[in-house]
Structure 1
Amino acid sequence: MLGEEERWCVVTGGRGFAARHLVEMLIRSHKWFVRIADLGPTIKLDPNEEEGDLGHALRSGRALYVTADLRNKAQVVEAFQGAQVVFHMAAPDSSINNYQLHHSVNVEGTKNVIDACIECKVKRLIYTSSPSVVFDGIHGIYNGDESMPYPNKYNDSYSQTKAEAEALVIKANGRNGLLTCCIRPSSIFGPGDKLMVPSLIAAARSGKSKYIIGDGNNVYDFTYVENVAHAHICAEQALASEGGSANNAAGQAYFVTNMEPEKFWEFMSLILEGLGYERPRIKIPASIMMPIAHIVEFIYRLLAPYGMRVPQLTPSRIRLLSCNRTFSCSKAKDGLGYTPLVSLKEGLKRTVESYAYLRADQHTKRSAGAHRPSKASIYLGSGNVADTLLWKDTKQTLTTLLVLISVYYYFFTSGYTMVTAISKLFLVATLFLFIHSILPAKILGYKLEKIPASSFQFSEKKMYRLALPMGSAWNSTVGVLKSICKGKDWQLFFKVVISLLIVNFLRGMSLHSIFVIGVPFAFIAFYIYDKREEQIDGLLRRAFSFALKLKADIAGKFLSPKQSSAMQ
C-alpha cells in the first residue's frame, strides 16, 4: 500500500540520457517517490549508480523500476497507477531515420501516455519535445521563439513525429483536469551521453573530424543535461502552482537552452581539444557535401538489408551541421522560472572529465592484436583497396565511386575512341591545373589549397613501393606453379583451375560489360563477405567437402585402388 505521504511521479524512458539525470534530481529533492519506466525487463545499474542516490533509492523503496513499452497501453496504465505527475521523456534514437519506428513510439506511444494519464487521474504531464519541431531543414533559426509555427516539411521523420506528439500533448491540456506542457531542450550534452561525444571521438580516431561542413560560423544553442532536468522540475512546479496565478504555464511549449549561444564547430573543437584531439580546420562547403550525402543515403537504402550501418553522412545531418540554430529562453524564464544551474564552460569541463577513458593518450592501436582483420581485407591487401571496397573509409569509397562513374560516362557512353577520350582528359586536366595555379589563395573566405609540383613526381621510395607488389606477385605466381608441379596440393590446383576458368569467361566479354558488372559486384560482394564471413566460409567448406567426397566416390568406382590412392 502507498502511504498518504508518498507522492509518486513516473519518468518514461527513465534509462535514457537526460532522463537518468532527471531521475537522480527528483530523488535528491526528497519530494518524490520515483517510478522509472523503460523497455528493459530489469534495471541494470552502472557502478557509480549502484553506490549513488539511485542505488540507495531503489533499495529503500523511494524508487521503483517498471517495464513499459509505450506501444502497449496496458503496460503504460499499470506504470502510471497512483502517480500524480508523469515526465514523458521516452523516444527512439533520433539518428535513425525510420518513420515507422518514430511514429509508433512518438505519436502512438504518446497517445497511450495521454490516455493512461486520464485513466489513472494523473494531474500533470510534462513532455520532452525538441526544437526541431519548428525546423524545416533548410532555413536556419536565429533566436527563435515559441511563436514559430510548425513547418510544412521536416528535416527527418524524428522531427515530424515529435511535432505531432507535442501537438497531442498541448491539445490534451485540460482534459479531465490534466495539465500539460512541453519542454524543447536544444542540443543536450553532458556526462552519460552515448551519442554525440562517442560519435565525435570515433570520427576523430578515424581521421574524419578534421573537416568543417560550411563556413564554420553557424551558431548553436547547447544545453547541459542537468539544466534540462532542472527545466522539467521547473515546469512541474509551475503547473502545480496554477490556480489563481497570473502565470499560465499549462498548454504551452518552452525552448530551453544554456542561454549562451556558441559557434557549433567551436563547441565541438573544445570537446576534441579537451580530450587530446586536434580541432577541425578544413572547411568544405555544404553545397559540395550535399550531393555526396544524397548518394550515401541512396546506397544505404540499397545495402541496409545486407547489414550496412546507418551512415553519418546524410542530407539531414549536413543541414544540421551547417545552419544556425539558436532559441530564446525568455518564455521559459518568465513562465517557468527557469535559469540554467550550470554554465556552458562548467558543463563542458564536467563533460570532458567524464569521458577521460576516451582521451587520445588512452587510445592504443589494439586493432593489430585484439581486432583481427577480416579475410576479405587480407585478400584485398589490407590497404587502400580493402578500405575502399569494404567501406572502411567512406570518403575514399565515395570518391572512388564518383571517379569510376565519371570514367564510365566519359570512356564508355560518350562514343569517343580511346585516343580521343584520353586526349580530351589531358586537355581538361591541363586547363584545370592552369586555372587553379592562377587563382588567389582565398575565395569568399575559403582557403584554396595549392597543389605542389612534387605531387606529380615519383620519388625513389614511391617507385620502390610500386615495384615491390609487382615483384611479390610474380614470385607468388612462381611459387604456385612449383606447388602444382609437385602434384600434391589438390586444393591449390582447383583454385588455379577455377581462377583460369573465370579469366577465360571474362575474355569473352567486352570491356564495357566487365566494367558494368565487375565494379558493382566488387563493391557489393566483398562488403557482404566482410559482414558474413563465417556463414559464407561455412557454405564453401561444405561445398568443398562434398566435392572431395564426390571425387573419392568417382575414384573408387572407376579407378584401381592404386590409382585411387594416388589421387587422394
Structure 2
Amino acid sequence: MADELERWCLVTGGRGFAARRLVDMLIRYDMYPVRIADTGPDIKLEPHEEKGVLGQALHSGRAQYVSMDLRNKSQVFKACHGVEVVYHMAAPDSSINNHQLHYSINVHGTKNIIDACSVQNVKRLIYTSSPSVVFDGKHGIFEGVESMPYPAKHIDSYSSTKAEAEALIIKANGMNGLLTCCIRPSSIFGPGDKLLVPSLVAAARKGRCKYIIGNGKNMYDFTYVENVAHAHVCAERALASGGTVSKRAAGEAYFITNMEPIRFWEFMSLFLEGLGYKRPKTKVPVFIMMLLAFLIQRIYRVLAPYGMRVPHLTSSRIRILSCNRTFCSFKANDRLGYRPLVPLQEALKRTIESYSDLRAEVYLKSKGASKAAACLGNGIVADIFLWRDIKLTIGTQLILCAFYVNLVSPGNTMITAISKLFIIGSVFLFIQGKLPDKLLGCSVEKISEVRFADTMARQTALSLVLSWNCAAHSLKSISSGSDSVLFIKTVSFLSILALVGSVSMQSFFTKVLPFSFIAFYIYEQMEDKIDGFVQRVLPIGRSNPNLESSNPYPDKKHEWYTWII
C-alpha cells in the first residue's frame, strides 16, 4: 500500500471515456497521487497509455489501480481509505435499458460512496451527473439553468436514477465536514470516445445518415472531453479554497458546456464531412417520423414473440434529435471559475484527426471496389450509373433522352439510328471547324485530332486478345465434356445475351436504361444486405468475413444518438 500519511484522490469509473482524461490531467497537475477505481480485475493500458503519463505514474507509484464494484460496500470503503477527494464518475452505459442495473449502481452505489466518504474522513466529493436529470424527453430546453426542477417523469431509467443520485450528493453536503457538488457535462465528445464518432460512421456506411429529422435548426450544447476534465478540477479547487468561495460552490449542481451552442445537425455534418462522408441534406418532418415510429412499435408488439429485434426508431429518440438542448454555464463560470480550455472548432478538428482510421477513403480502400462498380468497369461508366458525379450522370441522361426522342422513338432500326447519330456528329464538327477562333468575344475551342492514345490502343487490343483467348479456352473445355459448371455458365450467359438482344430499341431506352440507373445504385448502397439475402435463399458462396461488419467497434451495439443522454 501507499504511504499512509499521504492523501490521495480517487476517480471511480476511472477507465471510462471522460474519466481517463481526468486521470491524465490530475497526474500532470501532480496535486495528489491518483487512485483509479474500476470494475476490471486489473488495469489494461493501451499502447499510448503505457508510454504516457499514466504508465509512468503507475510505475513510479504516483498512481495506482484498485478493482471496485460500487455495489460492494467493503470494496468502496477500502478504495476510499486515505483519500482526500473523490471524483465519482462511475455509471452504467446509458443505452442499456435495465432499471435494476441503473438503480443499483447510480443510487445504491452513490449511497455507498457517501457513507465511505463520511467514515473515511474524505473532504470533497464531486459527482458527474447529466443534463438529462432536468429533461422530460418531450419538451426542448433552451439556455437551461440549474434552478430548473426535476421533471415528474424522466425519459429513461438512466436519467431518473442519475437525478436521484444527484439529490443524494447535494443532501450529503456538510455531512461530517464533507463538501460536495455535481457536474452536468452536456454531450461529451473527443478523441478516444468509442460511441459517438464510431457509431455515427457505422450508420453513414449503412446509408442511415442521409436525413435530417425536423427543420434542422434545433440547437445543442456539446462539450469537449478535456473541458469536462477541467471542470472537475475547477470544482475541486473551488471546494478546497475555503471561506466564501467554498460555501458558494458547495451543495450545488453545475451545467458544463463548451459555451458555444451549435445546430445539432450541423455538428453531425461537420463530423461526417471531416471524415469524408456526405452530410445529411433531406429534411423529414417530425410528424412523419413520429407516425413511422408509431407504426414500427405496433409491428414490434405483434412480431416480438417471433424474434423481431427492438426497433431503434422510437418517439423519444425522435424528440431528442429534433428539439433544443442548450444549457447556461454562467453559474459554473461564476462559482467554480470554469472556462473552456479548448474552443469548439479546435475540439472538432482534434477529434476528427484522431479518427483517421475511420475515414471514408480508408474504408473503401480496405473494402475494395463494390461489385456494382467492378461490373461496370470501375471507370466513367461506373461513375455515371452509380451517381458518383451528379452532373455527369444527369448530362448523360439528357443526351440519352435526346437520342431517344430524335432517333429511337420514330421507329428507326439500330443501324439507322447510329448512322443518323454520326451524321449529326459530322455536321456539328464541320460547323465547329468553320467557326472563327473568337465568337462574340469568347474563344472557340477547336478539335485538332480525335484518336486513341498509344497506351489506350495497346490496352484495348490486349483486352480483345485476352477475351478471345478466354473464350477459346472455354470452348475447348466445353468440348472435352469435363466441365459441366462452365457449360451451364456459358449457356446461361448466351441465353441472357439472346434475351437482351431480342429487346427492341424503344424498350431498351424506356425500360432497361432507367432501371439500370436505379438498380446499380441501389445494389451498391445495399450490397451486403442483398448478398446476405441471396446467400440465405441460395447458398452459393460466402462473403469475405473480414468485410462483413462495417461497425469499427463491433463490441459496441449502441446507436450514436444514445450518447447525448
State whether TM-score is above 0.5: yes
Supply the distance in 1 between the matched residues of 2:88 and 2:364 (Cα, whole angstroms).
41
Shift of 1:105: 1.3
The residue that corresponds to 1:75 in the other structure is: 75
**Which residue type is aligned with residue 134 of structure 2?**
V
Distance in 2 (CA, whole Å) between partners of 1:83 and 1:193 is 28
Distance of 1:362 and 1:49 partners within structure 2: 25
Residue equivalent to 1:250? 250
Which of 505, 511, 514 is residue 459 of structure 1 equivalent to?
511
Q: Residue deviations 1:465-492, cap 9 Å, x none? A: 99xxxxxxxxxxxxxxxxxxxxxxxxxx
Q: Displacement of 1:367 after TM fit?
A: 6.9
Mark the CA change 1:458 to 1:15 in structure 2 (over 3 Å): closer, same or farther: farther
Amino acid corresponding to residue 205 of structure 1 in structure 2: R
CA contact (8 A) 2:111 2:168 kept: yes
1:181 is the counterpart of 2:233: no
Contact kept, 8 Å, 1:128 with 1:182, in 2: the verdict is yes
Distance 2:145 2:60 in 1: 43
Give the residue type in structure 1 aligned to 2:122: V
Q: 2:128 maps to what in 1? A: 128
The one-letter amino acid of 1:323's match is C
Taking structure 1 as reference, are residues 3 and 164 closer, same or farther at Cα in structure 2, changes over 3 Å only?
A: same
Partner in structure 2 of residue 114 of structure 1: 114
**1:210 counterpart residue number:** 210
Change (3 A) 1:240 1:275: same
Indicate the residue corresponding to 2:264 in structure 1.
264
| 1:247–1:335 CA contact under 8 A, matched in 2 | no
The structure with the larger Rg is: 2
Q: Which secondary structure does the structure 1 equivalent of 2:182 belong to?
A: strand
- The answer on whether the counterparts of 2:138 and 2:316 sit within 8 Å (CA) in structure 1 is no
Please state how far the C-alpha of 1:310 moved relative to its aligned partner: 5.9
**1:33-182 matches, cutoff 5 A:** 33-182=33-182
- TM-score norm. by structure 1 comes to 0.63
Structure 1 residue 252: Cα displacement: 0.3
- Structure 2 unaligned spans of 5+: 370-508, 519-532, 538-565
1:258-407 equivalent positions in 2, closer than 5 A: 258-296=258-296, 311-364=311-364
Structure 1 spans left out of the alignment, 5+ residues: 370-456, 467-525, 531-568
Within 2, Cα distance between the matches of 1:148 and 1:24?
Answer: 33
CA distance in 1 between partners of 2:239 and 2:510 (Å): 73
Tell me the secondary structure at the aligned position of residue 9 of structure 2: strand
CA distance in 1, matches of 2:96, 2:3: 43
Q: Give the whole-Å Cα distance in 2 for the aligned partners of 1:331 and 1:293.
A: 38
Q: Which amino acid letter does the alignment assign opposite residue 209 of structure 2?
A: S
Q: Distance in 1 between matches of 2:236 and 2:246?
A: 16
AA aligned opposite 1:82? G
Q: Deviations over 1:106-146 (max 9, x none)?
A: 11111111111112211111000001111111111111111
CA separation of 1:74/1:164 partners in 2, compared to 1, >3 Å: closer, same or farther?
A: same
Structure 2 counterpart SS, 1:26: helix
Q: Is the 8 A contact 1:8 1:83 kept in 2?
A: yes
Supply the distance in 2 between the matched residues of 1:95 and 1:66 (Cα, whole angstroms).
26
Q: Counterpart of 2:35 in 1: which secondary structure?
A: strand
**Which has the larger displacement, 289-298 or 155-164?**
289-298
Q: TM-score, normalised by structure 2?
A: 0.64
SS at match of 1:9: strand
How far apart are the structure 1 equivalents of 2:253 and 2:345?
Answer: 27
1:297–1:5 CA distance, 2 compared to 1 (3 A): farther
Matches within 5 A, 1:398-437: none
Amino acid at match of 2:260: E
- Seq. identity, %: 69
In the alignment, is the contact (CA less than 8 A) between 1:9 and 1:84 conserved in 2?
Answer: yes
Report if aligned partners of 2:245, 2:335 keep a CA contact under 8 Å in 1.
Answer: no
Structure-2 separation of matches of 1:118 and 1:462: 74
- Per-residue deviation at 1:286? 1.8
Q: 1:250 to 1:306 in 2, by over 3 A?
A: farther
Instruction: Give distance in 1, aligned partners of 2:59 and 2:26.
Output: 16
Structure number with greater CO (CA < 8 Å, separation at least 6) is: 2
Q: CA 1:179/1:206 → structure 2, altered by over 3 Å: closer, same or farther?
A: same
The aligned residue for residue 499 of structure 1 is: none
- Asked whether the equivalents of residues 242 and 248 of structure 1 are also in contact (C-alpha less than 8 Å), the reply is no
Once the two structures are superposed, the pairs formed by residues 421-500 of structure 1 within 5 Å of their partners are 459-460=511-512
Partners of 1:306 and 1:366 in 2: CA distance: 37
Partner-residue secondary structure (3-state), 1:183: strand
Q: Decide whether aligned partners of structure 1 residues 104 and 292 sit closer, same or farther in structure 2, where only a CA change above 3 A counts.
A: farther
Instruction: Give the SS at the match of 1:10.
Output: strand
Superposition deviation, residue 290 in structure 1: 2.1
Q: How many residue pairs were aligned?
A: 385
SS of residue matched to 1:363: helix
SS of residue paired to 2:243: coil
What one-letter code is carried by the residue in structure 2 that aligns with 1:319? R
Cα offset, 1:7, TM superposition: 3.0
